[in-house]
Structures are given as structure tokens and as C-alpha cells.
Chains A and B, each alone.
Chain A
């Protein structure tokens, strides 16, 4: 199929990538760009593992045609730690609270959380649950994820006060 060049800004770096009209964003990020933190658990919009942030909003990259993303800013899990490599408070919180087991849902969970906290810095339990309702985790039973998100919100709030 005919390929077309598109520009994507992924984790603050500009890429020019040839894509076909059928190429999905998840495959372009994983296979063509070669950063594989974004996971594919179902490929049909059911699990949230492939979540990336596009212009700050969470999208399911397995349902997104790459060709529609021309010029967009994308953040994947690899783009969350700071320049010096320090973990983002959400990442740190997931670690500290045991919210990671197999880790396959983790990138999507963390990015969905990032979008949630950007919009609502002090979510209550219900908002946290609603926020990540589209992300399946089969290992943890979610409890520690919800706790980690609550703690991350606190951590970010105190950091910003400082």
C-alpha cells in the first residue's frame, strides 16, 4: 500500500515516518519508531494498555490511524520521566505502592492517570475509578493502583506547593 510521510512529535522529539493509510498509531510507535513501552493487549479498544497522550489527552493508539496524527504531540510512557531520568511522581507512586505486577497494563494505567490528574488534581475515589475504568489490570485487583493514584495526587500537590 502507498506510504505517506507524516511528522509526529513523540516525547518532544520530531519523527518523520512513512505510513500507510491503514497503519495504526500503536504499531507505528512500537514497530516503526521502535519505542515499545506502549503495549498492545487487545488491539480492539478494550484494555487500555495502548494508551498514549495526544496533545495531553489519553487516546487508545490501537484505534487511532497514524495518518490522522500528522503534527500532533504524543507522549508515551518513555516520555514521562524527567530529563535527568528521575521518575514522574505517578511512576514513583506506582512503584512504592506495589501497583505493578506483570507490568503490562502499567504504561497505559500511568498515562491515563497523568491525564486524569492534569484535569483533576484532587480526585476522590470515585473520580479515580471513573478515570481508569477503561484500563484493565488482571494482576493487581486494582486496589493498589487506586491507592497509588491517590498518593500520586498528594505528592504532586505538595511538590507544586513547594
Chain B
């Protein structure tokens, strides 16, 4: 297998941006300073739903040190990452739809002056009824609409039918249906949004430095909002302090900085306070779900019926895409021959929901893995046996036409069950102690762009010369996940050099070649394809020169450890630099360029061969898998659930940088453990957020860290570049249901609403005793 011969890929290496980060030398957007830089601040609405009758900013403008004030009228063009549903504006126009929405922005010579100016802006509101519950929102749509052109307070709804679930259910021996609810959570990345814009009035060019994970999509949105061609705008990412999806679209800070810069002719920076990060949200959609699963007498899944009401908050954002992901995610990692999904994404007067790590997967996964656990109990078999029986295999094609070229999911399940002692522990521990099993998967990139386009999703340019050595250009975004290091490793692998020799120019729409951005766990796979192709072109040229220098044939050469060797006569060899030197001296700089276009599969119902609305969403060149067995202690006095041990096994294909994969897996688990047990944003009845700070929001600290035993299972996807798959979103999928299943094992209560707080546990225990 090609996968076993790697020298740069498959090695745990320290990240190339690591030294700067441990020395405090990495520059994040808020660390930058520019001459004449002004500071921008945003005035936020104090109503969750209201008409804006008037905004008077004359006093603010008169304050010494204030340079400019803008309101919604300065940039009425609507933006949104999904162009069909774009309905957000930089600052509210005529109406505010959530508490904390921006209504005006100020640029001043320093932050204090800008703050002071905000207080001088007078906004007159005419309050409207506040709709915070999606069901109430739909019910009262006749009386009050959040968006005038969205009839039922619904952004979009969809129904997908595959096969004949009704008939299938009729023939099932075991059928279970339950409701589940997932909570309203935020990414809580540690670096608040920050944007620094510099508009040069002389050449009409705009540069924006931003804490963002999708420079390309941000670039497009800027072009729309600013009414400027893309080629006059450059987006640059300095170091980014985490994203997890929350920086997976533009932020109002980007537009305010850009508009204020254009208005003042100065560089302007807008950095959010933590509380603004919460109130502008874009976190995970709370989902009100109903799921029904039917098994035949042997335990094979025959049908799944899924109903989901997504509480979307005030604007569209990623909403429609997230909604259809929740439908797509019921088709794997088990074989489901018949399925139906009915889903709707509803507007409410809350800060908008958007993309968050493992988007669209986490919610249905919670429902499905808990139901399977319960079904196994009904059948009198272990959940392990039931899941193994239904698990997909390499080459599987779902009824919705999702194609899984390769999977080691069964190996993941097997490994965790063995390593955790699940079968020996489950159901056999004293009251209060439990173990739960769950699995999951995620896409490794998407098949389609968010706007209609056939262009490649990634382009990589590799430049080789005596001056720079190897430079990889690609506008991908390293937001901390480590893709720059991984790209260097992959390029070094093909070029036969060391990863430390490779310079990576990323996160820049001008110097980097095209890339869609860091989301959907796409970068390793997509850039891997493009890097392989670009590096092959480089090698072709260098092999010819080396062949001449060694007096042998180019096709008889190989390159490794910075040397070209004749495969037949390894004594014939020459240093890589010398060959590059000769090439540069005779021809000049050498470049190679590679592209990646994902395979396009249509979302059809295979039983009828018919197109299904929204079913293109969820297709991916390959998929990553993870299984987890989680152990808990439930304190019956306090109701506290403590995760004591997590055993995980993941299929990420060939790990490029195993240490980095472990970091993704461990980070995913802790991230999601927070949602399972602690995290939730609370709004009061007027829609004001009550806990918009890290302390009261309850992000897990190190004190919640359980023992963790993670395994990267041996895997290699022969259809993928270097055999790779994703590793940063698959492992978030099983955590919540594994915890819920463990709590059931511990105290015999099934929690179907998140988070599983001590109050809920105590209440449930009391009810149980009463019975």
C-alpha cells in the first residue's frame, strides 16, 4: 500500500507556527498597529424586536475625537453565506430582530472616545412582540412576521423521502420513537472577532485583516456590501484564535471596519468584547427533533423517520445548509434502506444560529445513537452488537446516494469496546456508575460550493527556486487546526524534501491561490489533491534536469531525503538543491499548479431514481468515523454528572500529523462534553442574554478533563490523496449520545434534553423514586 512508504506524512511533527505562538510572537488581528489607525465600536439594540423610528447621532459626531458614524443606511446591501437566502445587513435597517443587533457604528481616535460616543447616539424604538420559541413563532406568524417576505416565520422547510418508510415500519418487529432537544450553544473560541480594514482612497483598494476561517466567502460578502469588485479587495488572515465554525462567515465587525475606513480614509479596527461574541452568536442550532427507528426481527434497521424544527434565530446565515445536513446525517454510519425527513428552520428573535463544529450532525446523532441504545435493550442484545450489525462498510451507497469509498467504522467500534471493557462494564456497575457507547461520522469536504459554481474548490501553486526553496501558496485558513503544517508535510512528501523546508503562504486572497476555506473538514483532503498534482509537475521538470546531470533517464529517478536517486543505481544521486540551482539558472523559477474539484454526486432517491430536494447536501469525497465509550459517575446527592473516562477510536484515514490528529480528537471531545453537560445560552423573556460571559456560560475547564484514551485506527483511503480523511469534526459526533447512554446505564434515566444538568438529574431521580 502506497500509504506505508511515507516519510513526511504520518509523522508527528511540531506545528510550523508553534514557536511564534509559544513566544507570544504570533500576530493576531487585534495585535496589529497601523499609522493613523482609528477604533470602531458598534452600538447595539436594547430590544429583541422593534422598529427603529429614528437614530440621532449628531451629539456623537460632535464629540471631539469622533471621526465618523455609520448606520444601516450606509450599507443596505444584504449579505449571507448562502446567497439564495442572504438577508443580513451590516447594521439594522428600519428594524432590529435580536437583542444586541448592531444599529450604528462609530470610528474615533481611541477606544474610550468611541465608547463614549456610543452613549451619545439616541435610538428611538417601537417595540414589537418578541418571539423566542420556534413553535410560537410559527403559530403567531399571521400576527407578526420577523421578516416581511418570509411568510410563516420559516426560512425554509423540506421533505425528503427515500424508499417507502411507512411500509418498512409496518414490517418491523422493534419500533421506537422519541423526542429530543439540543440546546443553544456558542463556539466560545478564545479570540473574539477582530477586523482591521484599510481603504486607500487613491487607488480604491481595500485590505481587510480578519479573524476568520473563510477568507474567500468573506471576500465575496465584502464585495457585495461595499459595492466593490473582488479584485479591489484583499482579505488577509493573521493568526486566528480558534473558529469552530463561528468565524465561518463574515461578521458585522468586518463590514463596519471596512465602511468606517472608507468613510474616514484611515485604517479602522473593530474588535469585539466577549459579550459581543455571544450576542452575535452564529452557534449551534437548537433542534426540536422527533426520530423513529424501526428494526426487523434480526435487528437490521429498516426505516428512519426524522422530524426536525430548527430554531434559527433572527437571520438566515448557514441555516438552510445546516437544516439539510441534519437530514443527510441520518443516512450514515448505519445502513438505512428507507427514510423520511421533514424539517423546517424557523426564525425567532434570538441571536442567529449558524455553523458550529460538526454542523448538522451533532443533533440527529444524539437522537439516533440514544434510540439505538434503547432498541438494543428492547431486543436484549448489546448496543455494540446492534451497531456492528448495521454499520456501513467500504463501498456502501446509501439510499440517498451518499457514497462511502472507504470506512473502518467497524474497527472503530471494535477498538473502543475492547479498550474500554464496555461489554464487561455495561449494565454491571453499581448504581451511579455507567458506560455508554456511541458512534458517528463526518464529511471530509463538500461536493458543492455554497453559490452555484463549477470552479475547483482549491488551487495550490508551488513555487521552487534557489531564493525561496519551496513555497506552497493556497488561501486556506489555519485557524489553529494546523493545516499549514499538514500542507507542508504533504508537499514535502512528494517533493522529497523535509517539511521544515516548505514555506506555506495561506490565508491571503491575493498571495494565496483560491481555496473555499476551513469548514466541513475539507482542507487536508482538498489541498492534498492539489498539492500532489502541483508537486508532480515540479518533479517532472526537476527529474529531467537531474537525469541530464546524472546521465540517466528521468523516469528511472526518484526523489527522497533531498536527493535524486537512480532507482537502478542508487550510487547515482545528486542533491536536490543542485538540481534546483541548475533549473533556476537555466529556466528561472519553477512552478506547479494543482486543482481540486470534488466528485459530484446527485442527491437522489435510489429506489425511484428521482431527485430529492436538498439531498445534494451531505455528499463528500470521503468520510471520517469515530466511536466512543464514555464512563460517568453520577452523584445522586448533587445530581452532578462527572465524565471519568473517554475511550475513543477514530478513522481519519492516513493521519498526516498524528499528534495534531490527537489534538483534534481530544479537543473535539472536551468541546462537546461542554454541550452535553454544562453549556447553554439563556435569554430572558425580552430576549436579552443572561449569561453572555465565559464564566456563566460554563465552558469546560481542565477540572472537567477525564481520563482519555484515543486510538487512531489503521486506515488508508485508497481514493484519497495520501489516504487521508477528516479528523476535526467526526469525533464531536459521538460524545453527547455516549454520555447520555452512560447516564442511563448509571441511573436508569434517559435524558432527551440537553444539557444534562444537576437540576434535571435530581428531578429525574426524584420522579423515579416516586414511581
Interface residues of A, Cβ cutoff 8 Å to B: 30, 34-47, 49, 76-78, 80-81, 87, 91-92, 94-98, 100-107, 110, 129-130, 132-146
Contact = CB atoms under 8 A, between A and B. Distances in A.
Interface stretch (B300-308, B341-349, B591-599, B660-668): B660-668
Given A41-B191, A44-B274, A136 B23 contact: no
Closest 8 CB pairs of A and B: A37-B24, A102-B480, A103-B21, A104-B241, A77-B24, A141-B670, A141-B666, A36-B31
B502 interface: no
23 contacts: A30-B31, A41-B274, A42-B694, A44-B274, A46-B695, A80-B23, A87-B22, A87-B23, A92-B22, A98-B15, A102-B189, A102-B191, A102-B240, A102-B241, A104-B242, A104-B480, A105-B190, A135-B701, A136-B190, A136-B701, A141-B705, A144-B662, A146-B705
Contacts of A139: 190, 242, 480, 663, 667
A134 to B, nearest CB: 8
A36 B271 CA distance: 15
B257 to A, nearest CB: 17
Given A129-B705, A138-B189, 20 more contacts: A37-B23, A37-B25, A39-B28, A42-B694, A47-B274, A77-B22, A87-B19, A91-B22, A95-B18, A102-B480, A103-B480, A110-B22, A136-B188, A138-B188, A138-B242, A138-B244, A142-B701, A142-B705, A143-B705, A143-B708
B34 interface: no
Contact of B23 (A44, A81, A144): A81
Contacts of B694: 41-42, 44, 46-47, 136
A78 B19 CA distance: 12
B732 to A, nearest CB: 11
Contact of A133 (B30, B666, B667, B701): B701
Given A102-B190, A143-B708, A144-B663, A43 B703 contact: no
Contacts of B189: 102, 104, 138
A122 B22 CA distance: 22
Contacts of B659: 97-98
* Most chain A CB atoms below 10 A, which of B14, B22, B30, B663: B22
B33 A34 contact: yes
B273 interface: yes
Contacts of A100: 15, 18, 21-22
A25 B396 CA distance: 59
A158 B274 CA distance: 41
A139 B669 CA distance: 10
Interface of B: 12, 14-15, 17-28, 30-31, 33, 187-192, 239-242, 244, 273-274, 479-482, 659-660, 662-663, 666-671, 693-695, 699, 701-703, 705, 708
Contact of B702 (A30, A42, A146): A146
A104 B241 CA distance: 5
A134 B190 CA distance: 13
B14 A96 contact: yes
Nearest to B708: A143
A142 B702 contact: yes
A41 B189 CA distance: 9
Nearest to A96: B14
B190 A47 contact: yes
B191 A42 contact: no
Q: Is the interface of A mostly helix, strand, loop or mixed?
A: loop
Contacts of B242: 101-102, 104, 138-139
A107 B19 CA distance: 12
Contacts of A36: 24, 27-28, 30-31
Nearest to A105: B190
Most buried by A among B23, B663, B699, B702: B702
Nearest to B33: A34
A138 B23 contact: no
A78 B480 CA distance: 20
Contacts of B190: 39, 41, 47, 49, 102, 104-105, 136-139
A161 to B, nearest CB: 24
A42 B691 CA distance: 13
Contacts of A35: 24
Nearest to A22: B112
A87 to B, nearest CB: 7
A94 B333 CA distance: 36
Contacts of A137: 190, 702
Nearest to A37: B24
Contacts of A42: 274, 693-694
B24 A76 contact: yes
A130 B482 CA distance: 28
A4 to B, nearest CB: 16
A37 B699 CA distance: 23
A101 B481 contact: yes
A98 B31 contact: no
Contacts of A143: 666, 705, 708
A136 B22 contact: no
B699 to A, nearest CB: 6
Contacts of B663: 98, 101, 139-141, 144
Nearest to A104: B241
A35 B33 CA distance: 11
Most buried by B among A81, A130, A137, A139: A139
Contacts of B699: 136, 138
Contacts of A138: 187-190, 242, 244, 667, 671, 699
Given A42-B274, A43-B273, A141-B666, A129 B702 contact: yes
A88 to B, nearest CB: 9
A7 B244 CA distance: 41
Nearest to A77: B24
B227 to A, nearest CB: 33
A78 B481 CA distance: 24
A36 B14 CA distance: 23
A53 to B, nearest CB: 13
Nearest to A78: B24
A64 B722 CA distance: 50
B693 A44 contact: yes
B12 to A, nearest CB: 7
Given A34-B33, A41-B274, A102-B241, A107 B666 contact: no
A46 B278 CA distance: 14
Contacts of A76: 24
B479 A102 contact: yes
A77 B674 CA distance: 29
Residue with the greatest number of chain B CB neighbours at <10 A, chosen from A37, A78, A87, A129: A37
Nearest to A97: B659
Contacts of B17: 103
Nearest to B696: A46
A137 B24 CA distance: 16
B702 A132 contact: yes
A146 B480 CA distance: 19
A120 B497 CA distance: 43
Contacts of B695: 44-46
A162 to B, nearest CB: 23
Contacts of A96: 14
Contacts of A97: 659
A23 B18 CA distance: 31
Contacts of A133: 701-703
A124 B702 CA distance: 14
Contacts of B31: 30, 36
Contacts of A105: 190
Nearest to B707: A143
Nearest to A38: B24
